[in-house]
Amino acid sequence: MTAEASLRQHDAVVTRLRHFLDALASAAPDEQSGERLRHDLARWTEDLRRYAVPESRRYYGRSPTLASAGQATTPWYVVDEATPPERLAGRASFGTFFLGGRGAAHGGTIPLLFDELFGWLANSEGMPPSRTAYLTTNYRAVVGIGRPLTFTAWTDRVEGRKRFLRAELRDGDTVCAEADALFVTLRPGQP
């Protein structure tokens, strides 16, 4: 299979997995279905273990051209405009898998999205690797499950190895959450 075909296959599987996780989070299956599901999942887990590859050859979370960089365990997002490392903008939506309560997204999943966006900016092609030193989120309004959202993330300033980043998540005109973060460029030998 070509690299392009493998990437497409990965994207299709992850999309299925995202739908599966949403369905799982919403369901209370009966005993028979639950048993069948457990059995099928165990079979697929064993099957996939045979195809394990080193981190550098994985698609999961490492495919910036795919939605959510090829992951199902972050909220869904796509980058529509990118001028890295300065700015990026796009769309996001939190599926039922990310429900906290009363129709709102879990508070921990919002910084997860922001960390993804900041990682995208700070570690874009040609940039030296860097890691999150801190990430602060302000929750301004609830993020509704299934709502179509937009985001912007940008580099506020750079001071030596320190890159200060900011981001905003909106539902229409409403700012739902804001974040600011510090990414520090790694020194040689740092993990």
Ligand X SMILES: CCCCCCCC(=O)SCCNC(=O)CCNC(=O)[C@H](O)C(C)(C)COP(=O)(O)OP(=O)(O)OC[C@H]1O[C@@H](n2cnc3c(N)ncnc32)[C@H](O)[C@@H]1OP(=O)(O)O
Distance, in Å, from the CA atom of 98 to the CA atom of 145, rounded to the nearest integer, reads 8
- Candidates 50, 102, 157, 187; binder of ligand X (CB under 6 A) is 187
Closest contact distance (angstroms) between CB of 130 and ligand X is 7
Question: In 3-state terms, what secondary structure has residue 115?
Answer: helix
- Candidates 119, 142, 163, 165; binder of ligand X (CB under 6 A) is 119
If binding is defined by CB under 6 A, does position 133 make contact with ligand X? yes
> Which one of 14-22, 86-94, 123-131, 145-153 is the stretch in contact with ligand X (CB under 6 A)?
123-131
- Would you state the structure tokens that stand for residue 46, as one six-digit string? 């064993």
Question: In 3-state terms, what secondary structure has residue 176?
Answer: strand
Q: Shortest CA distance to 85 belongs to which of 133, 117, 132?
A: 117
Q: Which residues in the 137-166 window bind ligand X by CB under 6 A?
A: 160-162
DSSP β-bridge partners for residue 169? 151, 177
- Would you state the structure tokens that stand for residue 145, as one six-digit string? 């499950």
For ligand X, the closer of residues 79 and 182 by Cβ is: 182
If binding is defined by CB under 6 A, does position 131 make contact with ligand X? yes
- Candidates 61, 67, 115, 170; binder of ligand X (CB under 6 A) is 115
Distance, in Å, from the CA atom of 17 to the CA atom of 72, rounded to the nearest integer, reads 6
The alpha-helical segments, DSSP class H, found in the chain are: 3-26, 31-49, 109-122
Closest contact distance (angstroms) between CB of 173 and ligand X is 30
**Residue 57 near residue 37, CB atoms below 8 Å:** no
Reported residue count of the chain is: 191
For ligand X, the closer of residues 22 and 70 by Cβ is: 70
Closest contact distance (angstroms) between CB of 91 and ligand X is 21
> Which one of 79-87, 94-102, 125-133, 138-146 is the stretch in contact with ligand X (CB under 6 A)?
125-133
Closest contact distance (angstroms) between CB of 119 and ligand X is 3
Amino acid of residue 60: Y
Binding site for ligand X (CB under 6 A): 115, 119, 123, 129, 131-134, 160-162, 182, 184, 186-187, 190
